[in-house]
Amino acid sequence: MTNLVLFINSFLSYLLLFVLIIALVIVACIIGVKWRKSKDAKAAANADVAAGAETAEGNTTA
């Protein structure tokens, strides 16, 4: 009986550790996706500003 209790205790400890690692992976993925979307949005905004400046320069010289 003692061996069974020790086995269950060890199993639950490793199960809790596994759940914690999976939770950290999920949180890291969510943060990574948010940061990537933010970076892409900033890059698109900078590209739009640069394209707008080129268009404005083109219209003034024409």
At residue 14, the pLDDT reads 98
pLDDT in tens, 3-62: 999 999 999 999 999 999 999 999 999 999 999 999 999 998 888 888 777 666 665 555
Secondary structure in 3-state letters for 11-34: HHHHHHHHHHHHHHHHHHHHHHHH
> CA distances (Å), 57 to each of 2, 43, 50, 52, 54, in order?
82, 21, 11, 9, 5
In which element (H, E) is residue 10 found?
helix 2-61
At residue 47, the pLDDT reads 85
